[in-house]
Structure 1
């Protein structure tokens, strides 16, 4: 008995009866039996449930049958095994039934198998060929065209006819290049000819606007050769699938990926805005403008509520050269009127999309003649306005316009514009915050550097300071020129490890400490020792819990390098010491360049190691070049500090007649920077160039004083005579008092030898030196004290005074203003 003939089911229940569904548990018993299984084998569900599935076989299972059944019920088998089973009908007939098996897993982890077989319809029917042919020809999304061996079009599906814009009667007998006058038709026909000749199918993708379409589409086209059953070549067929949405999705993803790589390459607000504009055009729009609220230019964190929406044009871009659509130039300020899409987007904080034929847009255009002219001249038809928002703050607005693309913006375009604007807004906000913080750091650092160099006669000085590039941030490089007693001068260059506000603040503290230590006339090595202790204490303070701030560069400790030099124009000798700092360069009068061999010493803050000073003679006119390591830093991975030092020597080397004159030290600084520095330095650079001077021996007078109080009178006479020779007679009275007090103190409290020296420089300097290391101190004498008023008197009569220690003894000095006397 054959299964009942195929017929259309009249209900869902009858449709279920056309498919036999049997569930077999892991132990081989039947656990489910539907009406289709009953109709196929004749057994009701009450009989089948709980029975071994092997009883359904037509014959007692042999080894082959058991293997086939095991293949259908084996948990380790493939997920959907299939095969033909010989089953026994209730009336005894044998039925060979194709069966599909689906392995299923329940929530409790148990497994079973669902066996499925068709009750009817397994044999081919005469009408199946017509059904298949009609289904293929009428497939709505598949454009199929058939060509003969001459590549003449013989017929197309309805989708193919719509794509070509012609019916079969209108296009039959024509070639594809005749129907579609586009380069893509020539490319497709070349692939068709190759497939016709070789039999190899090919696949190609193209994007074009077909004659029957109003907008471009992306198509995935397969070309294959048609052959008869006996092997005759009949022609070729092309099958095109509309991949427009997939193509657009890929373009959007590619645009987002491109934006991730291009937007935010620097920490510059304007450049970041321009990078956004360059990505959007032409990938999404024909014209784009990026405007930022001016309320943030003064460092405000948010715009004032109710304030006018005044914006500055940060960037724009167009598919047309010169961006002729722009109403504003970059950097100009304007206000978007209320009712405009940009104002609506800024007020609402969300993206808006409009057509230019809308009533809202027409009202806005009527009130803005300049923009109305651009819209009319260039044919704007669609617009998106997206706010630039980051961290809860609206920074500006991006306006995207189409006028060359015929298709307007869609919802997916709005989503893409929002994604790009969100990425750019974070980068712009980062750049804005960095610019503000960098400006603060630069202002702080420049305020801590010398605002003007002090007047002194020992050296002529020129300097340069360059902050680091944008990514590195402001560092802690500094320099200083400090006048010392005895017409001497101290030259200092230092570098604090790290960048940012913390480095600038640390630099200010160290510069103040150096000036304080220099004021007590410590020699270079002792000064660096005291500075080393200070840096160690600062590092200990930074390492305290709660003091770390990775964003400010704090938490990595405090370290610094320093070079301290003292030049004496009377003896023309220079004493130097350095703590981990690059060595200074000296340019002699004959043009030769030397790097002074000053022991490097450890960087400041390490402690425990001494600093070794070096003293050298610098003839008058010598150039002493001090700098930070940013000047000679490596330019590339293959470069090192020695290469930077070689570039510095080359920039300084030259014949004597080519050396800069005293008025050209600034030109020398520029020459050094141009020849030594890379185009984009990655670290701060401080450069200090000093030309040494020598004080005329005729302006220095020295006497050895006998340790006898009676020698004071003779000393005063010698001083008065020398002041008369110098034309400083009016300063004689004050100078006599100072000399008397200082010499008398040296005789009473010091040790021989005692020397008196007068220096006629910008000031008149009195120096008394003795061999005692006991330093005097000023005090206020009581009413009946016989002494104690000497140093107080000296302090009142002189501009400044102090004590300078030596290896054996000390020098007490005092300076007087002599401008009025001269």
Structure 2
């Protein structure tokens, strides 16, 4: 006999001592073995022996002074030495397990009928054993799936390999709505002695221990639910989606029915009020999960009713666990109580969603039918869930708040409605969703020309709207200088470079400090007199042209570098003719794949081309897929026409001193045809006289006069000189130098634009009845 026992167990059958010899025989180290049950150790011994049934005959056990037992290895032949009591080991082990171990033991015959039972909660198991002896094991323990339990025990009987801690669920009729989980450990009982039982020994039955692990299962269930909330909730910056994720994480694994209600103003991004919540503050049902008919549909807005636990939870901001068998507040909220009874709910857990003292909403969890009721032990876990959900809802609310501001700012910076043009019909489409930095513009230029602009900023949100507003303002300013598209973009590059330098000089704490400025822009000018369109691009996709007969092409445009980059390669402009009734589509970069001239959705939606512009934009919106990649994309659509012959007049004037008089006579007659006499006619004749005088005096032939009636009344004088006129302020006694000053006082706008063959000086007057 060895000097020290293999192991020592206490009166409850739990290992309290462990030797190196035990490590070699059973496997676990001392730190892992302490606290194990003796039945588990014996199962390890059997498994390591190869499944042959290394039973207690290979061990010798003796009682210790006080309570407990010591186990020694018996002789190698399986027999105990003289005076060691080896023949009594099986009986002794069975006695200790049935009288002192704190587990419920069942001894079954090969047909799984009960032979003996121990109940650690009872003083003696004799009466119960006698009453239940001969009953099938499946009837002794009310398992939910008795077939699986029997299959488990029969597998142990067939193979001899013990089954350890296999969980099965059972009902307890004395606990309403209660459910229990038991861990079953089964051993085969077989004839034979020695360190190893023979495989052909007679099978006597099975010993099955039943341990109630319900509390461990509940604890693991709570931890799993909390982990599910941590993993699932917070992956989106959408309040509704966050609420849905919370319900999906809890139902049906943790609760049978879940409801999340959020303060209505929070869904709009407004800052929540500090608690407690007033009775008149509306809640919107954001998510519902579970079976049965909800008392209120998702999206319903209501205020909590006084005298209900929902109102109490939002008043004192405490989590509540409420039995629903007898709801004293049934009359206060009859609709909800009726719904609760229909789904068979027996317990309610209410958790207010709060953050820094502000109330965001309320979570209601129900358990129904034979599910275990909520207890106070669920409160700490649900508090952690509600805290995390409230934080993510508030993050989503902040995003909604910033999105609302950025979206409003962006829309205020964009044209609100198409501006009427004499020879161009325009309309635009801005796809919903997201706050992308897409912008567009229609700018009226001198000479009845129209500038079409579209751009995109790399940022999103309020920073995109800010950059977009800066670039849009610069384009408007440069367009007023009557620059060609390539020259305008060249100056826009300079502005973007300065903005990029200013951004780099921001404090490092500013989020824009490390974010480079990136933007694109395409600028096109259409002249209705020549029906020519000139376009240039700074990193933006070339526009799509759809002609009246359905022919389509993408403009062959050399795309320059994007704005804000260090690449300053020159930008080239391309001019092309647009047939009467052609559609010019300038679009965001995200729509490039849908703007193919043959099979793209954009081209298909624009056929036929003669429909109203609003209908064309609607058709494009319906044809494009609802993809997040397209959210916030923009389309600027223009249908071009030639200048109507009755809206303009042009003459070539003699290059001599008779030119001013001739110009006044021709102008007077045309204005009479347009019914523009009186003050407008007098002012126009004076403007024409001054412009022609300057052209004859300081310019070169040929001299041409053109009158245009479109947005206003435009007077243009073109000559062959590129010398720019400038306005002087003549002294009180000076006889000259007042020509352009007079024009600036009579006209709303005036300016000069240049071409290869000379310059054009123009003025524009508001028509009678219109503002200047």
Equivalent of 2:652, from 696, 700, 704?
Answer: 704
Displacement of 1:703: 2.8
Local SS of the residue matching 2:300: coil
Q: Matches of 1:565 and 1:150 in 2, distance apart?
A: 92
Residue matched to 1:626: 586
Tell me: CA distance 1:142–1:314, structure 2 relative to 1, closer, same or farther (3 Å).
Answer: same
1:446 equivalenced with 2:404 (yes/no):
no
Residue matched to 2:249: 279
Tell me: CA distance 1:366–1:712, structure 2 relative to 1, closer, same or farther (3 Å).
Answer: closer
Residue matched to 2:569: 609
Determine which structure has more spread, i.e. the larger CA radius of gyration.
1
Matches within 5 A, 1:96-135: 124=84, 131-135=92-96
Displacement of 1:578: 0.5
Residue matched to 2:737: 788
Structure 2 portions without partners, runs of 5+: 4-16, 21-28, 32-63, 73-82, 194-200
Equivalent of 2:688, from 704, 721, 739?
Answer: 739
Tell me: CA distance 1:682–1:431, structure 2 relative to 1, closer, same or farther (3 Å).
Answer: farther
Equivalent of 1:333, from 295, 302, 311?
Answer: 302
Equivalent of 2:385, from 414, 420, 429?
Answer: 420
Residue matched to 2:520: 561
Displacement of 1:674: 3.7
Contact map agreement 2:449 2:525 (CA 8 A) in 1:
yes
Displacement of 1:280: 2.8
Displacement of 1:766: 1.3
Displacement of 1:412: 2.5
1:107-150 CA distances to partner (integer Å, 9 max, x unpaired)? xxxxxxxxxxx999888458876553222013554222122223
Local SS of the residue matching 1:598: coil
1:464 equivalenced with 2:429 (yes/no):
yes
Tell me: CA distance 1:689–1:330, structure 2 relative to 1, closer, same or farther (3 Å).
Answer: closer
Residue matched to 2:722: 773
Residue matched to 1:303: 273
Q: Matches of 2:737 and 2:277 in 1, distance apart?
A: 70
Tell me: CA distance 1:510–1:132, structure 2 relative to 1, closer, same or farther (3 Å).
Answer: same
Tell me: CA distance 1:251–1:177, structure 2 relative to 1, closer, same or farther (3 Å).
Answer: same
Q: What TM-score do you get using the length of structure 1 for normalisation?
A: 0.76
Tell me: CA distance 1:412–1:734, structure 2 relative to 1, closer, same or farther (3 Å).
Answer: same
Is the deviation greater in 219-228 or in 699-708? 699-708
1:344-388 CA distances to partner (integer Å, 9 max, x unpaired)? 444444423344589xx74x5565555565667766543332221
Local SS of the residue matching 1:207: strand
Residue matched to 1:495: 456
Kindly report the root-mean-square deviation, in angstroms, between the aligned alpha carbons of the 2 structures: 3.5
Residue matched to 2:188: 225
Q: Matches of 1:441 and 1:267 in 2, distance apart?
A: 15
Contact map agreement 1:384 1:401 (CA 8 A) in 2:
yes
Residue matched to 2:556: 597
Contact map agreement 2:699 2:720 (CA 8 A) in 1:
yes
Displacement of 1:554: 5.6
Equivalent of 1:816, from 738, 756, 765?
Answer: 765
Contact map agreement 1:575 1:613 (CA 8 A) in 2:
yes
Equivalent of 1:650, from 596, 600, 607?
Answer: 600
Tell me: CA distance 1:269–1:590, structure 2 relative to 1, closer, same or farther (3 Å).
Answer: same
Tell me: CA distance 1:584–1:304, structure 2 relative to 1, closer, same or farther (3 Å).
Answer: same
Local SS of the residue matching 2:505: coil
Residue matched to 1:93: none
1:281-334 CA distances to partner (integer Å, 9 max, x unpaired)? 3333344332333564675534157762424032353543222xx368643221
Local SS of the residue matching 1:766: strand
Q: Matches of 2:437 and 2:509 in 1, distance apart?
A: 18
Q: Matches of 1:717 and 1:303 in 2, distance apart?
A: 74
Tell me: CA distance 1:649–1:533, structure 2 relative to 1, closer, same or farther (3 Å).
Answer: farther
Tell me: CA distance 1:653–1:478, structure 2 relative to 1, closer, same or farther (3 Å).
Answer: closer
User: Number of residues paired by the alignment?
Assistant: 686
Contact map agreement 1:281 1:317 (CA 8 A) in 2:
no
Structure 1 portions without partners, runs of 5+: 4-18, 22-67, 69-77, 81-117, 633-642
1:568-610 CA distances to partner (integer Å, 9 max, x unpaired)? 1111011110000001011122211111011101111236322
Q: Matches of 1:256 and 1:650 in 2, distance apart?
A: 48
Equivalent of 2:131, from 170, 175, 189?
Answer: 170
1:207 equivalenced with 2:207 (yes/no):
no
